[in-house]
Amino acid sequence: MTSFYLSKPYDPPQAPENLPLDRPWALLGGISPQKFMKSYWHKKPLLVRGAIPAFEIAKQMGEPLGSAISPEALFKIAGNDVVESRLIKAKPWSFTDGPFKKKSLPTLNTPDWTLLLQGMEAQHPAAAKVLSWFRFIPDARLDDLMISIAGPGGGVGPHFDSYDVFLIQMSGRRRWRISQQKDLALNANLPLKILQNFKVEQEWDLEPGDMLYLPPHVAHDGIALDGGCQTWSVGFRAQSYKEMLQEGLWRLAESLEDIPELERRFADPKQVATNSAEQLPAEIIEQIAQKLKGLKLDRVETFLPGIAAYLSEPKPQAYFAGSETQYSPEEFTLLLTKQTLTPHPQTRLLALGKTIFCNGEDMTSGQARPTQIAWRSLAAKKQVKGAFGGLTAGSSLFEAFEAGWLVF
């Protein structure tokens, strides 16, 4: 008799702190994260049967597992106006944005509908835990975890995404059909992004615990085979180069505000008499070249803080309520010795060497050492606890806690 203990509802395991990147992982079908990144990531699809072995084990024990989040809980979340939700119906295609009242949502066995809920890591701890399994991929690339729940026949139609995505089957079965076709033209007459000519190349029925990884631009269509079919999609975003450069340059331009020396006016006592008055003077060109060099504006490192700050911006719809209880910095310091402080699920953290950016702001430059150490732990381990000396009211850690960016 097997002696496994599986929690009900299923409680996904926590990712270990030091990920064994060179060892086979069940989640990746018995290959290591290193091999996955080398051979599949951003290159080709991968179907993994039994990516979450708990489902298979439970089935063998005669006690099949359900999703960690019930349909009722999902319907309730769909009524929350801070959650991005969409209801898509097929035959004919239509779509509506949430929030949705429970009464306006179809019953699980009604055919041809699907409800999509974005940013679920902020709504349910099981979704946040599933995201933590993918920390062998840089946080900067992570978008969010979307959950779809559908009636039989429900889906969003054949389409492609610009993102890398891991589609994890969590409840019921879904038939995935994919194609690496070049023709990605969309049907202009539909309210949804649906491919004009979808030519199926491969097809699989995914059972709970199975997973399909798709790189960007692989055409796909997932159709629910059972009522209450749940697919959890872990999505990885990629900005355009234009967006990253523009956002980095913006922030760099703003940072010049802090350099008083640049307020000085252009001076050209060495200007010589000229026959080509219409030309931009060599004096300006030379002096600007000097300034660019002096400010290291000719070096990539100078642009990186702006880009890191940008990539650490939370989603536009993120909402932070601020801490419920008012603590003094002393009380906060004491609490930190007893309880674990973690980022709010909608907080984004990103490190550039030892500098930590949180929700678009540099949290460590000019801060006292204990504050810096706490932030590094938060960025790397998503948690911090311990004795950090007297954190003052000006500590960015205390301020982020007060703003609700960090929570006990």
> Does 156 help bind ligand SIN (rule: CB under 6 A)?
yes
Residue range at the interface with Co ion (CB under 5 A); choices 16-24, 153-161, 237-245, 271-279: 153-161
> Does 313 help bind Co ion (rule: CB under 5 A)?
no
Any idea of the CA torsion for 301, 307, 311, 316, to the nearest 10 degrees? 160
Nearer CB in complex with ligand SIN: 223/341 = 223
Q: Which two tokens stand for residue 169?
A: 């089957």
Least Å distance between CB 143 and Co ion? 12
> Does 67 help bind ligand SIN (rule: CB under 6 A)?
no
> Does 143 help bind Co ion (rule: CB under 5 A)?
no
* Number of neighbours of residue 126 by Cβ within 10 angstroms: 21
Using only C-alpha atoms, the chain has a radius of gyration, in whole angstroms, of 26
Whether the bond between 13 and the residue before it is cis, its omega within 30 degrees of 0, is no
Nearer CB in complex with ligand SIN: 153/404 = 153
Site string for ligand SIN, 213-232 (x = CB under 6 A): -------x-x--------x-
> Does 161 help bind Co ion (rule: CB under 5 A)?
yes
148 binds, among ligand SIN, Co ion, none (CB under 5 to 8 A by kind): ligand SIN
Instruction: Name the nearest CA neighbour of 29 among 4, 56, 69.
Output: 56
Beta bridge pairs of residue 384: 341
347 binds, among ligand SIN, Co ion, none (CB under 5 to 8 A by kind): none
Instruction: Name the nearest CA neighbour of 359 among 299, 400, 402.
Output: 400
Least Å distance between CB 220 and Co ion? 6
Residue range at the interface with ligand SIN (CB under 6 A); choices 8-16, 51-59, 153-161, 276-284: 153-161
Q: Which two tokens stand for residue 95?
A: 């779509």
User: 225 near 152, Cβ under 8 Å?
Assistant: yes
Site string for ligand SIN, 15-44 (x = CB under 6 A): ------------------------------
Least Å distance between CB 183 and ligand SIN? 18
Site for Co ion in 11-40 (CB under 5 A): none
Mode of pairing for the β-strands spanning 94-97 and 406-407: unpaired
Chain CA centroid to CA 385, Å:
25
Nearer CB in complex with Co ion: 161/207 = 161
Residue recorded with tokens 């000085």: 264
Any idea of the CA torsion for 51, 54, 55, 60, to the nearest 10 degrees? 120
Beta bridge pairs of residue 19: none
C-alpha angle 129/305/146, rounded to 5°? 25
Nearer CB in complex with Co ion: 215/306 = 215
> Does 396 help bind ligand SIN (rule: CB under 6 A)?
no
Nearer CB in complex with ligand SIN: 219/374 = 219
Of the candidate residues 152, 155, 215, 305, the single one contacting ligand SIN (CB under 6 A):
155
Q: Which residue of this chain has its Cβ atom nearest to ligand SIN in the complex?
A: 148
Instruction: Name the nearest CA neighbour of 41 among 244, 231, 312, 236.
Output: 236
Q: Which two tokens stand for residue 78?
A: 């769909």
Using DSSP's 3-state secondary structure scheme, residue 150 falls into strand
222 binds, among ligand SIN, Co ion, none (CB under 5 to 8 A by kind): ligand SIN
Burial of 111 (0-12, 13-18, 19+ CB in 10 A): middle
Nearer CB in complex with Co ion: 177/382 = 177
Number of residues near ligand SIN (by CB under 6 A): 9
State the Cα–Cα distance between residues 371 and 368, nearest whole angstrom. Answer: 6
> Does 87 help bind ligand SIN (rule: CB under 6 A)?
no
Residue range at the interface with ligand SIN (CB under 6 A); choices 73-81, 155-163, 343-351, 370-378: 155-163
User: 193 near 158, Cβ under 8 Å?
Assistant: no
Using DSSP's 3-state secondary structure scheme, residue 402 falls into helix
Of the candidate residues 67, 118, 123, 148, the single one contacting ligand SIN (CB under 6 A):
148
State the Cα–Cα distance between residues 139 and 135, nearest whole angstrom. Answer: 7
> Does 114 help bind ligand SIN (rule: CB under 6 A)?
yes
Where on the chain is the footprint of ligand SIN (CB under 6 A)?
114, 148, 155-156, 161, 220, 222, 231, 233
Where on the chain is the footprint of Co ion (CB under 5 A)?
161
